[in-house]
């Protein structure tokens, strides 16, 4: 009798856990430079509100760089034009310091060391998700993650004077 109650109580919990969308799993984004070299990878994890990005990048010029989610799941074209504009489901202006709001794909700058790597760097984006919805990085086939040549000034529309796109990776759900 006790086993039946235990089974009855735990079975719905197990079924619910199995039914949760797999989109909430971590996503590993392989990055490449404009000349086709590996630029390492970035792991995107659900992080409470938004996502947490763990950077494992290499072969980048030293200094501060902008990092943005872009609208299309493409790194095609010279300068990665296929990535399209910044991910902006709410139609806001660019820049974390913009009084009119900012793109959901806007994030803090990060620093690459003289080795060309950015070890142990974590970036947070509270305005996007890996779960279904209008702010999902995985909706409509995915998005892309772009590293720019310079730091983002956090206010200039449309891209913060962040310079050329120097590395890109496609953000998509694998095996779904």
Q: Could you give the domains of the chain? A: 23-171 (2.60.40.200)
Read off the pTM: 0.81
Residue 147, SS3 per DSSP? strand
Sign of the C-alpha dihedral computed for residues 94, 75, 171 and 115 taken in this order = negative
**CA 132 centroid distance within chain:** 15
Place of tokens 């079975």: 11
State the Cα–Cα distance between residues 23 and 45, nearest whole angstrom: 10
pLDDT, one tens digit for every residue, the chain (176 residues): 554 444 444 434 433 333 344 445 899 999 999 999 999 999 999 977 899 999 999 999 999 999 999 999 999 988 899 998 888 887 777 667 677 777 777 789 999 999 999 988 999 889 898 999 888 999 889 999 999 999 987 776 666 567 789 999 999 987 44
Is residue 130 within 8 A of residue 44, CB to CB? The reply is yes
State the Cα–Cα distance between residues 176 and 170, nearest whole angstrom: 15
Sign of the C-alpha dihedral computed for residues 95, 107, 127 and 75 taken in this order = positive
Residue in 105, 101, 102 with CA at minimum distance from that of residue 70? 105
Is residue 138 within 8 A of residue 130, CB to CB? The reply is yes
State the Cα–Cα distance between residues 94 and 98, nearest whole angstrom: 7
**CA 22 centroid distance within chain:** 17
């Amino acid at each position: 009798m006790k086993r039946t109650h235990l089974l009855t109580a735990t079975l719905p919990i197990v079924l619910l856990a199995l039914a949760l969308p797999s989109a909430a799993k971590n996503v590993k984004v392989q990055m490449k430079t404009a000349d086709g070299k590996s630029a390492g990878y970035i792991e995107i994890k659900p992080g409470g509100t938004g996502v947490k990005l763990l950077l494992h990048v290499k072969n980048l010029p030293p200094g501060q760089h902008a990092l943005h989610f872009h609208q299309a799941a493409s790194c095609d074209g010279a300068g990665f034009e296929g990535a399209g504009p910044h991910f902006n489901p709410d139609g806001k202006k660019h820049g974390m310091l913009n009084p009119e709001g900012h793109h959901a794909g806007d994030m803090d700058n990060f620093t690459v060391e003289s080795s060309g790597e950015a070890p142990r760097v974590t970036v947070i984006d509270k305005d996007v998700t890996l779960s279904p919805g209008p702010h999902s990085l995985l909706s409509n086939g995915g998005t892309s993650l772009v590293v720019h040549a310079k730091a983002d000034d956090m206010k200039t529309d449309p891209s913060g004077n962040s310079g050329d796109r120097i590395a890109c990776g496609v953000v998509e759900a694998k095996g779904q």
